[in-house]
Amino acid sequence: MLLLRLALRNLLGAGLRTWLNVIALSFSFVAIVFLQGMYDGMNEQASQASVGAMYGGGQYWQARYDPYDPLTLPDAHGAVPPALDSLVARGLAAPILVRQASIYPGGRFRAVLLKGIAPEQRVLSIPSTALGGGGGAIPALVGARMAKSTGLEPGDPITVQWRDAHGTFDAADLRIAAVMHTTVQEIDVDQLWVPLEALRRLTGMPGEASLVVLRPGTAAPGPLAGWSWKDQDWLLRDIHALKRLKSIDASILYAFLMFLAMLAIFDTQVLSIFRRRREIGTLMALGMTRPRVIGLFTVEGALHGALAAVLAAAYGLPLLTYMSLKGFGMPQGTDSIGLAVGERIYPIYPAALVVGTAVLVLLVTTVVSYMPTRRIAKLKPTDALRGRMT
């Protein structure tokens, strides 16, 4: 305790030099927490949006279904197994039928995916209730990006051509029932959503689907013949991989900030030992052992980290709280890069992130503070009293 009080008094007695180091170190602390919190918030926001609008609690894919291989789509359909059919009847799963199609907005050709979903489903956040209108042309739902690129508006007719189960071309006129606004690009771009039973009837695929999405929290019924299970972790692997990649990139900036702060503390310790030679000699002459003198200077350096944490909390806590509530505005065009984030990213700061960063800063400052003090172990008290360093 005496060593800590003495170290704190010496540190505060250094005046401006101490506070400059503390300010630089606190800035590094806040910057690391803010950037990592932003990446965590982006990952969480994109994951929640994707789960709510597309992935649900996991998906069963028909054995030939591969959303990344369009050549498999013509054959990627099959009868929904009874185990999944019972979940659909209880509102715990939503079957989706996917077919390749072509549309002709304004007389232009455009390839799209025609997706059938039940209007009454509540598994996904897709506003499928707009597809429940009866009579007249078949209602269709498009995303805002799709509507913007094709010039489609609610009430517009659109001609769609597709192939049925036997490979025969067929066509029909659809009516745009609504335009949905979503941050999930994968359910928007080049896609038309229509009532599931209408698509089954048009394609000659009664009771069939390409995939079945489970409601979050619903237990998967296990392996099913002809269908493969994809859980949430597997479906979200691209988002998590992007977050890990961005965190690795950010670590370069973290290392640079920490290096600058540690360099300042290292130089301060070297200068302090050089200028306080007589003080070191006096302490050793009065009976303080070399390890305790080394400990004194090490504690002084480590206290930079403790004071930096206090200072960072003083101005960083209000700043980070404000950012978590108001969010971080994203530039226009961000929604076209394929990441399910909205106009603002809301950072999140888990306790593990804050505590881990504080421990890292304190540990690094302690190590950097100890390195210059090793010269004290070779110092003779008589030489120190004369102001000499050997």
pLDDT in the model for residue 20: 79
pLDDT at 345: 79
pLDDT tens string 61-92: 999 999 888 888 888 999 999 999 999 999 99
How far apart are the C-alpha atoms of 250 and 204, rounded to whole Å?
52
Beta bridge partners of 161: 102, 171
Q: Do 50 and 340 meet the contact criterion of CB atoms below 8 Å apart? A: yes
Mean pLDDT, the chain, whole residue set:
82
What pTM was estimated for this model as a whole?
A: 0.75
Residue with tokens 């489609």: 152
Mean pLDDT of successive 10-residue stretches along the chain, which has 390 residues? 65 70 83 84 84 92 90 90 94 94 86 93 92 80 89 90 86 91 85 93 93 93 92 88 77 78 74 68 70 75 80 88 79 57 76 82 80 64 56
Q: Locate tokens 């950012």: which residue?
A: 323
Q: Which residues contact 369 (CB under 8 A, 6 or more apart)?
A: 265, 266, 269, 297, 298, 299, 300, 301, 302, 304
Q: What is the pLDDT of residue 196?
A: 94
Residue 135: CB partners within 8 Å, gap ≥ 6?
none
Residue of 270, 317, 294 whose CA lies nearest to 17: 270
Q: Which amino acid is located at 259 in the chain?
A: F
Q: Using CB atoms within 10 A of its CB, is residue 266 exposed (0-12), middle (13-18) or buried (19+)?
A: middle
pLDDT digit string, tens, across residues 171-188: 888 999 999 988 888 888
Strand-pair partners of 99: 114
C-alpha–C-alpha distance, residues 327 and 8, integer Å: 38
Short-list 306, 274, 277, CA closest to 381: 277
Query: What confidence score (pLDDT) does residue 376 get?
Result: 62
Q: Residue 244 contacts by C-beta under 8 Å, 6 or more apart in sequence?
A: none
Quick check: 139 and 131 in contact, CB under 8 A? yes
Q: Which two tokens stand for residue 131?
A: 């597809």
Q: How far apart are CA 157 and CA 139, in angstroms?
A: 9
pLDDT at residue number 123: 94
Residue 50 near residue 124, CB atoms below 8 Å: no
Signed CA dihedral, 145, 150, 153, 158: sign only: negative
